[in-house]
Amino acid sequence: MSPLRWFLFLLTLAAGLAAGLLYGWRISPVQYVDTTPDSLRADFRADYVLMVAEIYQSEQNPQTAARRLAALGPASPTQVCAETLQFAMQVGYDPRDIQLLQNLSLALQSLPTGDQP
């Protein structure tokens, strides 16, 4: 094979790769719509659990909070809250937010196992 053919092959390959990346990243990027909460990244999951803890603080209904946390996957709401509390302490959340998470965790632990979704 001549060097010109190799050059054209590599040039075509590079142009195709560049065009594919341009199309996929700039022209028509993937947009996730209506995804479930269990597909969230760890930091967004923590924010979701913190929002549930804030709602729990005003409602004081642990069953509703457990139902909301059940949307985060197959783990029990108590386990989800404990993992989030650990993440919040590692990342350095505000002490008031950590207190909200601790309050929610205690409330979830007080639920009978049959009341958790």
Quick one: tokens of 89? 């302490």
Residue 18 has pLDDT above 80, yes or no: yes
pLDDT, one tens digit per residue, over 60-108 is 999 999 999 998 989 999 999 999 999 999 999 999 999 999 999 999 9
* DSSP state letter for 75: S
Predicted confidence band of residue 46 (pLDDT cuts 50, 70, 90)? very high
The rounded distance, in Å, linking the Cα atoms of 21 and 17 is: 6
